[in-house]
Amino acid sequence: MVFNIRSIFLSGLGFLFLIAFVSYHIQFPGLNSSSGIEPAGRIFPYAFPRIYDKWFQRHEDTRQFWFEVDVLCEVVSILGILLSGIAAR
């Protein structure tokens, strides 16, 4: 196997992302879950207004998500762990 600067740099970058996603996955329940310090459901409409408008549906004068924001954050963190683990190899 030939190692060059580019492959070492990309593997290192993948490893850094792996650490970041694992750290977020561990800290998410206490910080951003629906029962955390700052619930992601409150932040989501301001951080991602286009996604919020597209995925939320009007139902009896309230906006309801077709799935929980907590589930979305869990899936994104697990997907990030898997992809950065592949990149770090």
Can you give the pTM of this predicted structure?
0.74
Task: Give the residue among 79, 47, 53 at the shortest CA–CA distance from 65.
Answer: 53
Residue 3 domain flag: no
Q: Is the pLDDT of residue 61 over 60?
A: no
Q: Is the pLDDT of residue 64 over 60?
A: no
Q: Which tokens in the block code for residue 20?
A: 């970041």
Residue 1 domain flag: no
Question: How far is residue 84's CA from residue 39's CA, in Å, rounded to a whole number?
Answer: 26
Task: Report, as an integer, the average pLDDT of 46-68.
Answer: 64
Domain range for residue 12?
A: 8-88
Total domains in the chain come to: 1
pLDDT of residue 58: 47
Task: Give the residue among 9, 63, 47, 37 at the shortest CA–CA distance from 76.
Answer: 47
Task: Give the residue among 83, 76, 67, 66 at the shortest CA–CA distance from 28.
Answer: 76
| 17, 62 contact by CB (below 8 A) | no
